[in-house]
Amino acid sequence: FLNTGFMTTAPSYLKFHTGGALRMAATAKSDLAALRKKTGYSLSICKKALSENNNNLGEAEVWLKKQAQAQGWAKAQKLQGRNTSQGLLGLSIQGEKAAITELNCETDFVARNEKFQSILDNLAKTCLTLSPPANTEEQVTKANISSAEISQLKISDGSSLADLVALNIGQIGENMAIGEATLVQAVSGLNLSGFAHPATETGFSNLLCGRYAAVMVYAHVEKGPTPLPEDLDIEKIPSQICQHIIGMNPTCVKNPDDKENSLLNQTFLMDESLTVEELCSAAGIKIVDFIRREIGRSN
């Protein structure tokens, strides 16, 4: 503009275009921030995703997921032969049904990773949607599901659990493998309790994680004449019996020919003055069945 000694201003059409450009830049910056926050990918990758999809946020997110999935499967194939001796069991209980799932990895460090535990939570939730084969003659039905079957199950976004694991292999850079799962279904009126050891902190409300897991199915019955010792909390007894099952590894509820491995005949781990049977009588509990799992070992 010519300097005439008076204050000069830009023509209105230039203001309009400048303002529009600024708004577009602000929108692009906002979309970039939103995409990065939602997906967790780096700034440069998110920029490329938006650029490849005409700055359409939704399409950029889909593009990112497809790219990540393809890279994840490629990485998974590359790492397939690596040993996966570490990992966690995930235990989730919903009403009269429980699922124990297994996810293996190479190192204990990855097993403590939030993404790893998120996969385990997805495994458990998905398995809880299944129903074991109905058995009208039994109060408790138990079924093992192979890793191959679990891998093909679908999650909420329509992809498979195998896809989810491959995606995270690509992001974490360590081999992971889905193990077999165990489903426990009790008839109406029975109760389920569970415990995992060593307890691993997770951000998931209905998920217990550990290298060992146990589920007990029980009923409430009339209490026996002997009172419960004062130092034992009746509300905690079911989970403490599950803890005992993990520690003492019984093989049956009660077998007169094998008292050593019968749960009810064993001395209670938390109070050696009682047998488990005496504890149950004092607490008004009847153990119907139980299951114990250990990482890396089939049920």
Token digits for 208? Answer: 């217990």
Distances from the Cα of 11 to the Cαs of 4, 17, 48, 54, 82, in angstroms?
Answer: 16, 10, 35, 31, 67
pLDDT at 257: 94
- Calculate mean pLDDT across residues 20-26: 53
| Residue 193 CB coordination number (10 Å) | 20
Lowest-pLDDT choice from 38-52, 89-103, 118-132, 221-235: 38-52
The predicted-structure confidence for 149-171, as pLDDT tens digits, reads as follows 999 999 988 889 998 998 888 88
Distance CA 181, CA 49 (A): 37
- Calculate mean pLDDT across residues 95-101: 96
pTM, two decimal places:
0.77
pLDDT at 7: 44
- Calculate mean pLDDT across residues 73-94: 84
Coil, strand or helix: which one is 241?
helix
pLDDT at 89: 97
pLDDT at 264: 98
- Calculate mean pLDDT across residues 68-84: 73
- Please compute Rg for the chain using Cα positions: 28
The predicted-structure confidence for 179-224, as pLDDT tens digits, reads as follows 999 999 999 999 999 999 998 888 898 999 999 999 999 999 999 9
Whether the predicted pLDDT of 4 surpasses 50: no
Distance CA 205, CA 189 (A): 24
Whether the predicted pLDDT of 13 surpasses 50: no
Going 227 to 232 to 238 to 244, the CA torsion angle's sign is negative
The predicted-structure confidence for 237-271, as pLDDT tens digits, reads as follows 999 999 999 999 999 999 999 999 999 999 999 99
- Calculate mean pLDDT across residues 18-44: 67
Nearest to 117 by CA among 154, 90, 93: 90
